[in-house]
Amino acid sequence: MISRLRNSLILALLLLSQSCGTYSFSGASIPAEMKTVNIQFFENTSALVVPYLSQQFTEGLKDRIRNQSRLSITRNEADANFEGRITDYSIRPVAIQGNDRAGLNRVTVTVNVKFSNLLNPELNFEQSFQAFQEFNLNQGPIQSQEQKLLALIIRQLTEDIFNKAFANW
């Protein structure tokens, strides 16, 4: 009985010692030596421009990093850097009902992101990310729904970008 308990204890200690030291509950694996990140303003270069989208997206990415990591956001030299632009904002019908009217519409936002990891350049990437939300005009005009839809889209985009940069997903 005692030898079984001792073996179980040794096995548990062995498993604990093999775990990753940079794990966090967000799933991020940010190296301990990484302390700062610079997030540049994401300009909206899409054909359809929503005046507040650039500011909300940039702040949303900063909030995601503040809330899910221990990194400090700086405007100066940093250990990592995010830059890019909003390349597309579109509203398209996805389901047509009678009288050639759209029963369901989709708002889509595409962002091109360049991530530079100065501590480990192998993790650098430049990639487009896209997210969308569907809405029904029976619930009101797009102008009355747009802010809520964009908040959901920004949440999804920033989660995908964060995971690509820090969780290797």
- Token look-up 């967000």 returns 26
Q: Give CATH for domain 26-167.
A: 3.30.160.150
pLDDT confidence of 5, banded at 50, 70, 90?
very low
Question: Would you state the pLDDT for residue 141?
Answer: 74
**Long-range residue pairs from 65-69, CB within 8 A, at least 24 positions apart, any chain:** 65/37, 65/39, 65/162, 68/24, 68/26, 68/28, 68/162, 69/24, 69/26, 69/28, 69/30, 69/166
- Four-residue CA torsion sign, 45, 47, 48, 49: positive
63 exposure class (CB count in 10 Å sphere: 0-12, 13-18, 19+): middle
Which residue spans within the chain are E strands per DSSP?
Answer: 36-39, 43-44, 72-73, 80-97, 101-117, 125-135
| Least confident span in 8-22, 61-75, 139-153, 154-168 | 8-22
Question: Which band of pLDDT confidence, cut at 50, 70 and 90, is reported for residue 99?
Answer: low
- Cβ atoms 22, 32 nearer than 8 A: yes
Q: pLDDT tens digits for 16-72?
A: 333 333 334 445 678 889 999 999 999 999 999 899 999 999 999 999 999 999 999
CB distance 133 to 117 below 8 Å = no
Total-model pTM: 0.79
The average pLDDT across 97-111 equals 80
Give the per-residue pLDDT at 12: 45
Every domain of the chain and the residues it spans:
26-167
SS3 26: coil
pLDDT number for residue 14: 41
Question: Residue 104: its pLDDT value, please?
Answer: 87
